[in-house]
Chains A and B, each alone.
Chain A
C-alpha cells in the first residue's frame, strides 16, 4: 500500500514539477500529451492494484484514476491532452472489438442460443419499458424535458430508453480477462452482450429517427434516416467481413508480427470508419467473429496476441473514460440519475431472470446473469455523443444526463459482475 502511494506521489509530483520547464506550445499533438499519457497509464494501473486489494475490480481503479487526473478533479490531464490521446482510445476500442468478436464462438452461440435470445429480448424490452415509463413520470424534474410537447416527450424518452438498453462489451471482456472466468455465466453474458450490441444499435437508430422527426428534424421514418440506418449497420457488417477476410489471408499466408498487424488493422478500419461513417466496434466485432468461426484458418495466434495486449488496452480505455467524466455538469441532476440507474438495474434483474428461465439457462446463469448486464461504457458513450451532435440544443442536455447514468453503471456494474462471477464459482484468477 505504502509503495503504491509512493508511486502515485512520484507520478503526480513528476507531472507537476516538469510542467513549468516548457512554455505552452502550439501543435497538432501537444508535446506533453505523450508524457501525461505515461503518467495516466501508470497511475491507472496503480489505482487498479489498490482497488483490487480492496476486493473491487481493477477497472474501477482505472476509472477512478482517470477521474482523479482528469479535468473534473485535478486537471493534471487537461481536455486538450485527452483530445490528443483519442487515437489511443480508438485503438483500444478496436482491439477490444476484434478480441470480443474472436471470443464469440459459434458453437457457444448454438449451444446457448435459446437462453441468449430470451435473456436479450426480455432484458432489452424490460429496460426500455421501465426507463421510458420512469422518464415520462419524472419529466417535470428534468429541465430539458419540461417544455416538450407530448409526442416529442414520448419519442425522446424512447430514444433515452434505447440508449440505456446498451450493455458494455468492454467491461464484460475486461472482467473476463481479469478474472479468467470461462464458465456458463461468463459465456452466456458475453454472448448476450455482444449480440445486444448489434440489436440495440438498430433500436437506437430507429428511436433516434423517430425522436428527430418529432422534434422537427427529418420526419420519422423518412427514407434518408432509414438509408442511414441501413448504411451504418450493413456498412459495418460488410466492412467487418472485408477486414475479417484480410485478417484471415494474413493469418494463412504470413502469420508474422501479429501485434503490428493487429494495430494496423484497427487503425486502417478506424480511418475507413471515419471516412465512410460506419461503426468501428461493430465492424471489428464482425471481423473477429468471421476469423474465429467462418474462415478456414487458425485464429488462435491472433487471439493469444490480443489477449497479451488486453490488459494495457483496458488500462488505457478505462483511464481515459474516467478522465472524460464531467462530474460537475451532472451534479445538479443526481436524484434523477440515481433513480433511472436503479430503475434500469431493476429492469435488467427482472427481464434477464425471466429470459433465462424461459430460455432454459442453468440456474446459476438465471440467478446471476443480471450482474453482467448492468455495466455501460464505450458504446453507450458513443451513442450519447451522437445524440449531442445530431440533436442540437436538446442533445447536449440529454448527453449530460445519459453520461451521468453511464458513470453510475460503469462504476457499479464491474463490482456487481465480479460478485456474480464469484458467487457462480467461475473466478479463476482471484
Chain B
C-alpha cells in the first residue's frame, strides 16, 4: 500500500517536472515528442535510481491498464460515422491501403524473423510478430496534426495524412486485440469449458459493446440535470465505463486498447453526449499519455543479448514496411491528383499508442519475450520521433514548393492541382 502510494507520488512528481521542463523546450524550440518521458521513467526505474522498483511498477499495473484503455477510447471516438461518410472515397482507399500494406509487410518480415531466427513455434511467433507489426503500423495522429497545423498551404495530401494516421492506429489496435483474444493465454475456473478462440474474440468485442450500452443507459436522458450535475454524471459515467471495460480486459487477459476502441466507437456514434465525451477525453489525453510513457520507461528492462538484435531489426523492418506501405498507397492506389512517393515521410512518428500497446503486451503476455517487445518498441519510438519532426517539416516544405510551382502554373492553366 505504502509502496504503491510512494510509487504514484514519485511517478506523478517526475511527470510534472518533465512537463514543466519540456513544455519550455516545446514553446521555445517547437519540440514535440515524448521520448524524454520514457527516459525519465528509465531514470526513475529499477535500473538507475531505483525510486520505482520492479514491485512498485507491478503495483501500478491496474492504473496503467486504465491509462491504456483511456487512449484506446480516445482513438475510438475519432471514428464517428456521419463524419466518416463525408470523407472522399479516394482518401479512405489510400489510408486503408497504406495501413494494410504496412501491416502486411511488417507482419511477413517479423513472422520470418521470429520463426526462423528466434526459433519460436508458429503460434508464439504469430503473437509477437502481429504485436510488433501492429506497433510498426501505428503512426501518431497528434504528430501529423502538429505539422499539418503548421503548414502554410492547404495541400490535398494533408487530410489524407491525417486520415491515414488514424486508420493506421485502427488497423494496429484491432490486429493487436484480435491476436491476444484468438491466441488467448490464461486459465478459466475449473468448472467451465475454456472458451474457443472465436469466443474470446467475441467476448472481447462484447465487453466493449456492453460498456458502451451501459454508459448510455447509465447516463439516460439528460434533461432535468443542472449543467454542473450533468457534467459530473458524465464524468462518473465515462470513468465507470472505462474502468469496467479496462478492468474486464485486464481481468480476462485481453487488450484494454481494443475493448476501449469499441467503447469509444459506440460513444462517438450514439447518444447526445459524444461532443462532451470527446472534449473530456481530449482534455485528459496529455496527462494520461505522458504518465504512460514514464511508466513504460520505468517498466523497461534490458533484453538478453541473444535476442537483442531483434530490436534494431524491428526498426529496420518498420522503416521498410512504412515506405512500402507509403509507396503502395501513394503511387499504386492514389488517383493521379493525389499521387506521391512521399506519403510515408509524414507517418514516421509512432506516438503514445505504440507505447501503450507494448506495455499492454508486457501485462498480457509476460511469458513471451515481454522485454524484447518493449525494448523494440521504445527503441523504435525514440528513433522515429527523433527524425519524424524533421521529415514532417521537409514534407510540408516540399508540398509548399509544389503549391508555389502549381501557383505559377495556375497563371496559365487557372488550376492548382493538389492544392485545395
B210 touches A20 (CB 8 A): no
Check if B246 is an interface residue, CB within 8 A of chain A: yes
Please report the C-alpha to C-alpha distance between residue A87 and residue B240 in the assembled complex, in whole angstroms: 17
Check if B82 is an interface residue, CB within 8 A of chain A: no
Report which of B12, B191, B213 forms a contact with A263, defined as CB distance below 8 A.
Answer: B12
Check if B250 is an interface residue, CB within 8 A of chain A: yes
B195 touches A21 (CB 8 A): yes
What's the nearest-Cβ distance from chain A to residue B201, in Å? Answer: 14
Report which of A7, A33, A311 forms a contact with B236, defined as CB distance below 8 A.
Answer: A311
A-B pairs with beta carbons under 8 A, tally: 165
| Interface residues on chain A, number (Cβ under 8 Å) | 52
A3 touches B220 (CB 8 A): yes
If A18-B248, A275-B2 touch, does A260 touch B218 (CB 8 Å cutoff)?
A: no
Check if A352 is an interface residue, CB within 8 A of chain B: no
Report chain A residues within 8 Å CB of B284: 259
A35 touches B12 (CB 8 A): no
Please report the C-alpha to C-alpha distance between residue A37 and residue B220 in the assembled complex, in whole angstroms: 21
B217 touches A3 (CB 8 A): yes
Report chain B residues within 8 Å CB of A257: 16, 19, 287
Task: List chain A positions with a Cβ less than 8 A from chain B.
Answer: 3-4, 6-7, 10-11, 14, 18-23, 27-29, 31-39, 41-42, 45-46, 86-87, 90, 254, 256-257, 259-261, 263-264, 267-268, 270-271, 274-275, 308, 310-312, 315, 429
| A43 to chain B: closest residue by CB | B240
Instruction: Pick from B73-81, B162-170, B182-190 the stretch touching chain A.
Output: B182-190
If A22-B251, A23-B188, A270-B5 touch, does A39 touch B203 (CB 8 Å cutoff)?
A: no
Please report the C-alpha to C-alpha distance between residue A429 and residue B225 in the assembled complex, in whole angstroms: 9
Q: Name which of B210, B236, B253, B291 has the most chain A CB atoms within 10 A of its CB.
A: B236
Check if B159 is an interface residue, CB within 8 A of chain A: no
What's the nearest-Cβ distance from chain A to residue B213, in Å? Answer: 8
What's the nearest-Cβ distance from chain B to residue A389, in Å? Answer: 15
Please report the C-alpha to C-alpha distance between residue A18 and residue B253 in the assembled complex, in whole angstroms: 12
Interface residue tally of chain B, by bracket? 35 or more
A28 touches B55 (CB 8 A): yes
Q: Which 10 pairs across A and B sit closest by C-beta, in order of nearness?
A: A35-B247, A38-B243, A34-B247, A38-B244, A264-B12, A311-B232, A20-B189, A42-B240, A268-B9, A23-B187
What's the nearest-Cβ distance from chain A to residue B286, in Å? Answer: 8
Q: Which of B12-54 contact A (CB under 8 A)?
A: 12-13, 15-16, 19-20, 23
Report chain A residues within 8 Å CB of B66: 34
Check if B312 is an interface residue, CB within 8 A of chain A: no
Q: Which of B170-210 contact A (CB under 8 A)?
A: 186-192, 195, 203, 207, 210
Other A-B pairs, 20, CB within 8 Å; known A28-B55, A28-B59: A10-B213, A10-B217, A11-B214, A18-B251, A21-B189, A21-B192, A22-B189, A22-B252, A23-B186, A23-B188, A23-B190, A38-B244, A38-B245, A42-B236, A42-B240, A87-B4, A259-B287, A264-B12, A268-B13, A274-B2
Check if B233 is an interface residue, CB within 8 A of chain A: yes
Please report the C-alpha to C-alpha distance between residue A46 and residue B233 in the assembled complex, in whole angstroms: 10
Report which of B15, B20, B244 forms a contact with A39, defined as CB distance below 8 A.
Answer: B244
| A250 to chain B: closest residue by CB | B16
If A42-B237, A257-B19, A311-B235 touch, does A35 touch B248 (CB 8 Å cutoff)?
A: yes
What's the nearest-Cβ distance from chain B to residue A417, in Å? Answer: 19
| B244 to chain A: closest residue by CB | A38
Report chain B residues within 8 Å CB of A315: 236
Please report the C-alpha to C-alpha distance between residue A90 and residue B2 in the assembled complex, in whole angstroms: 11
Q: Which of B340-394 contact A (CB under 8 A)?
A: none
Please report the C-alpha to C-alpha distance between residue A271 and residue B65 in the assembled complex, in whole angstroms: 23
Please report the C-alpha to C-alpha distance between residue A267 and residue B231 in the assembled complex, in whole angstroms: 25
Report chain B residues within 8 Å CB of A6: 217
B19 touches A32 (CB 8 A): no
Please report the C-alpha to C-alpha distance between residue A254 and residue B18 in the assembled complex, in whole angstroms: 13
| B56 to chain A: closest residue by CB | A28
The contact sample of 13 A-B pairs, CB cut-off 8 A, is: A3-B217, A20-B189, A21-B203, A21-B251, A31-B253, A34-B247, A35-B243, A35-B244, A42-B214, A86-B1, A256-B23, A264-B8, A274-B1
Report which of A3, A20, A34 forms a contact with B246, defined as CB distance below 8 A.
Answer: A34
Check if B269 is an interface residue, CB within 8 A of chain A: no
What's the nearest-Cβ distance from chain A to residue B6, in Å? Answer: 4
B251 touches A34 (CB 8 A): yes
Check if B62 is an interface residue, CB within 8 A of chain A: yes
| B191 to chain A: closest residue by CB | A20
A21 touches B218 (CB 8 A): no
If A7-B214, A10-B214 touch, does A429 touch B243 (CB 8 Å cutoff)?
A: no
| A256 to chain B: closest residue by CB | B19
**Interface 1/0s, chain B 243-285, versus A by CB < 8 A?**
1111110111100000000000000000000000000000010
B16 touches A37 (CB 8 A): no
Q: Name which of A23, A31, A90, A315 has the most chain B CB atoms within 10 A of its CB.
A: A31
Please report the C-alpha to C-alpha distance between residue A373 and residue B117 in the assembled complex, in whole angstroms: 72
Report which of A7, A45, A86 forms a contact with B233, defined as CB distance below 8 A.
Answer: A45
B214 touches A29 (CB 8 A): no
Report chain A residues within 8 Å CB of B61: 29
Report which of B1, B210, B231, B246 forms a contact with A87, defined as CB distance below 8 A.
Answer: B1
Check if B58 is an interface residue, CB within 8 A of chain A: yes
If A28-B59, A264-B13, A312-B235 touch, does A42 touch B6 (CB 8 Å cutoff)?
A: no
What's the nearest-Cβ distance from chain A to residue B222, in Å? Answer: 12
If A41-B243, A42-B236, A86-B1 touch, does A260 touch B9 (CB 8 Å cutoff)?
A: no
Check if B335 is an interface residue, CB within 8 A of chain A: no
A261 touches B16 (CB 8 A): yes
Q: Which of B51-102 contact A (CB under 8 A)?
A: 55, 58-59, 61-62, 65-66
Check if B405 is an interface residue, CB within 8 A of chain A: no
B226 touches A429 (CB 8 A): yes
Report chain B residues within 8 Å CB of A27: 58
If A35-B251, A45-B240, A274-B2 touch, does A29 touch B12 (CB 8 Å cutoff)?
A: no
If A10-B214, A28-B59, A312-B239 touch, does A22 touch B287 (CB 8 Å cutoff)?
A: no
Q: Name which of B19, B62, B210, B213 has the most chain A CB atoms within 10 A of its CB.
A: B62
